[in-house]
Structures are given as C-alpha cells and as structure tokens.
Structure 1
C-alpha cells in the first residue's frame, strides 16, 4: 500500500511540474513524415513584452501532420500558441510571447508534414486497364 502511495505522489509531482509549462505538442509523426521546419527562435530582453509570429507553409501537395514547440528557458514561462492553421492544414502561424518586460524567450519549433496522396502510390505493382479488357 505504501509503495502505491509513493508512486502516486511521484506521478502527481511530475505531472504538476510538467503542466506548468506552455509547450505545444499537436499531431503525430510517422515513418513517412518529413521535417520541413526546425529552428530555435530567441528574443533578447527589452523594455516591452517581446512578441513574434512564425508562419510556416507546407510545400506542394503536403499537409502539416505535427507541430512541436518547446520552451528552452529554465523557468519555462514563455507563451507559445497557434494563431491559425495547424494539423491537417497547408500552413500554421505560431505566436511567441515573452512572459513580461525585461525578459526574452527561447523556443524550439519543429513542423512535420505528410503527403496525403502517398498512400495511393505503389513502388512495385502497377495496374494498367488495357491489360484486362472487358467482355461485353
């Protein structure tokens, strides 16, 4: 009984410490996913709140499958949010904001895409309708 109580307390402390950060984890990656954007965005402290918008567009006929934004500062009190677009769309706009004046931010942004039509292409087999004529 005591061991289960200790495990529950450890899980509760871990979850409460992780729930305090503003990281974004949307979507999922698969073996067909392609990373189209990976950058660390950083703003130095200033006399005003630092804000920035990052716009990422998917290439050609691909759609966004995952968006990961991680706050890299020790106190993890910066704000990151999705302004428009996102998973399943052709673009995503991510807003970044420092927590207060005289503070900056540091975020790592990763965006992955998938080609929704890739499942219809085959590397081995091909179907040619003229090979199998119809009988009328």
Structure 2
C-alpha cells in the first residue's frame, strides 16, 4: 500500500511540474529542416507589464516545420504564445509577456523551416522513362 502511494505521488509531482511550464514545442525539426531563427529575447523589469511581438518569416519557398520557445527564467512564469502563423505557414508571430509589473522575461526562441519541394525532382536520370511499354502497331 505504501509503495502505491509513493508511486502515485511521484507521478503527480511530475505532472504538476510539466503543467506549470509555459514552454512551447510545436512541430518537429526533421533532418531536412534548417534553423532559420535562434535568439534569446530578454526584457528588463519595468513599472509596466512588458509585451513584445516577434515576426519571423521563412526565406524563399520554405515553410516553418517547428517552433520552440523556452522560458529561461528561474520560476518559468513568463507568457509566450503564437499570435498568427506557425507550423506549415510562411511566417509566425510570437507574443511575449512578462508575468507582472517590475518583472521582465527571458525566452529562447528557435524556428526551423524546410523546403517542401526540395529533393523530389532530380536532373537527368528518370527511371520511369527508361522502361516504358508501347502499344504494338500492326
């Protein structure tokens, strides 16, 4: 009985620690993805609640495959959210807020993108053109 209570309490503590984090993990960075944005955004404490918007655009034909936002402050009480765009889009707008007045924020933002058409077309060799069958003419 005692072992079951310990296991349940440990599982509950792990769940509670996950629920309090405001980190965002959207999408996955595949081997074809490349990092198009990586920066630590930091705001100093002020007499008002600090808010900022960051707009990240994917270059050329690329689409965003992953957005990772990590709160680097000790208590992880800053707010980060996706305002528009995101995974599968050409751009993403990220909103950052400090938790209260006289508090700042510190977030690490990483955005990955890949070209959805890259690698699907090759120059020269086309095996489907080599082994064609033609109708017989009599």
TM class by smaller structure: 0.7 to 0.9
Q: Does 1:21 align with 2:39?
A: no
Q: Does 1:37 align with 2:37?
A: yes
Distance 1:2 1:41 in 2: 46
Runs of 4+ in structure 1 off by over 3 angstroms are 1-5, 128-136
Q: Deviations over 1:11-47 (max 9, x none)?
A: 2101201211211111111111111111000000011
Distance 2:129 2:87 in 1: 40
- Residue 111 of structure 1 corresponds to which residue in structure 2? 111
Distance 1:41 1:65 in 2: 21
* TM-score (normalised: structure 1): 0.88
* TM-score (normalised: structure 2): 0.87
Q: Does 1:55 align with 2:55?
A: yes
Distance 2:133 2:11 in 1: 65
Q: How many residues align?
A: 135
Q: Can you give the 5+ residue segments of structure 2 that lack an aligned partner in the other structure?
A: none
* C-alpha deviation, 1:78, in angstroms: 0.5
**Higher mean displacement: 110-119 or 92-101:** 110-119
- Residue 126 of structure 1 corresponds to which residue in structure 2? 125
Correspondence 1:65-84 to 2 at 5 A? 65-84=65-84
* C-alpha deviation, 1:132, in angstroms: 6.1
Q: Can you give the 5+ residue segments of structure 1 that lack an aligned partner in the other structure?
A: none
